[in-house]
Amino acid sequence: MSNKAVSYAGPGKVEVIDIPFPEFVLRDGPGVHPANVGRKVDHGVILRTIATNICGSDQHMVRGRTTAPEGLVLGHEITGEVVEIGRDVEFVKVGDVVSVPFNISCGRCRNCKTGATGICLSVNPDRPGSAYGYVDMGGWVGGQAEYVLVPYADWNVLKFPDREQAMEKILDLTMLSDIFPTGFHGAVGAGVGVGSTVYVAGAGPVGIAAATSAQLLGAAVVIVGDLNADRLAQARSFGCETVDVSLGDPKDQIEQILGVPEVDCGIDAVGFEARGHGREAQTEQPATVLNSLMDITRAGGSLGIPGLYVTGDPGAVDEAAKVGSLSMRFGLGFAKSHTFVTGQCPVMKYHRGLMQAILQDKVTIAKNVRATPISLAGAPNGYAAFDDGAAQKFVIDPHELIPR
């Protein structure tokens, strides 16, 4: 059976290729850890992909900013229909429409049992934590494909209660696999609550999801900072204040909005490819956002950091940054008694509640991020547009099931 997929073809390039139809065993391939080759997945299901999104984390690999091997099948934001179940699957049925957390977790290890599914100890031989189609994450085949294997299915998938309703809201529901919980995790980590003032650095899809989440949590004011005018306009479209960091330090613009040069809660939705502010806005300075957030977040406040930071960046600006060592003003954070919340979002902690918010019309995440369906063949163009700063979230629709 045909199974076309999007793969990394070297810096700046992706291509659509033919890959084998999934089996209930992990085969060798680009990025697959040798210790995972031959791993039986009788606890898994095979999905016909309904929606699979292009993520900024994918873009880091495509830009050549990680050690991802060429040929790696991309995609970790997966929503699909179950077409085949493994021998050991008990509760998931053929025909179920499900959301798949980007974190692959076993549900059995010490961390999973405490809800820390972003750092599962069992699915990646290299280190805690795993994901589909991502460098150094165990080699599980990515989901930007017509069909994909999902392990530990009884544990991992979130079943939508009604198929017809799910398809009507599929552009919202597909955000449950990653960016909506990730943005929400950033807001929770930053301590957002009723009446909070919040600054979100970055108006890409995760930043927009964090801003949406802050509103859902009761923030009084949500301010979003970025260099991209279109993305800032998108943030304003659903009630956010905005800061253009190309004009200078966000602190001064925040004071113009709030009357004081600080916020209660800071969220980093940029990560390691951060740029400077003002005249240095075109210069990459990977610690800029972290240092800025420590400066503008009140003493005793918290920093939620859903933006990606890596341990290996061959394209970094200096030798230290190539191994994830950044020039942070940690002494400032210490002096202000800041709390830092970092790492992969444990999607399962949030996705069911956020699903209910979507199904009950409490939030319109697809509208806020401008979810835009594209074909599988159109994925290379989607990656190029996203890299150029399009204020959109591209949703790959391999089987043309999403109304245009």
Give the DSSP letter of residue 17. E
Same domain, 88 and 165: yes
Q: What is the CATH number of the domain that holds 259?
A: 3.40.50.720
pLDDT band at 187 (very low <50, low <70, confident <90, very high): very high
Spell out the residues 6+ positions from residue 54 whose beta carbon is closer than 8 angstroms to its own: 144, 379, 382, 383, 386, 393, 394, 395, 396
| Bridging pattern class, strands 147-150 and 97-100 | unpaired
Helix (H, G, I), strand (E, B) or coil at 218: coil
Same domain, 17 and 93: yes
Same domain, 135 and 88: yes
- Domain limits for position 49: 4-178+346-396
Same domain, 128 and 219: no
The string of pLDDT tens digits covering residues 58-78 is 999 999 999 899 999 999 999
Q: Please tell me the total count of domains within the chain.
A: 2
Exposure letters 67-87 (e unless 16+ CB within 10 A, then b): ebeeebbbbbbbbbbbebbbe
Q: Return the C-alpha torsion angle 205, 206, 209, 215, nearest 10.
A: -130
Same domain, 150 and 209: no
Same domain, 165 and 197: no
The string of pLDDT tens digits covering residues 197-227 is 999 999 999 999 999 999 999 999 999 999 9
Q: In this structure, is residue 389 part of a structural domain?
A: yes
- Kindly tell me if the per-residue pLDDT of 169 is higher than 80: yes
The string of pLDDT tens digits covering residues 76-135 is 999 999 999 999 999 999 999 999 999 999 999 999 999 999 999 999 999 999 999 999
pLDDT band at 318 (very low <50, low <70, confident <90, very high): confident
Same domain, 209 and 160: no
pLDDT of 108 reads 97
Same domain, 186 and 320: yes
Q: In this structure, is residue 401 part of a structural domain?
A: no
Same domain, 190 and 308: yes
Identify the H or E element spanning 53: strand 45-53
**Would you say the pTM of this structure is higher than 0.85?**
yes
Whether the CB-CB separation of 130 and 123 falls below 8 Å is answered with yes
Same domain, 172 and 202: no
The string of pLDDT tens digits covering residues 238-271 is 999 999 999 999 999 999 999 999 999 999 999 9
Same domain, 361 and 234: no
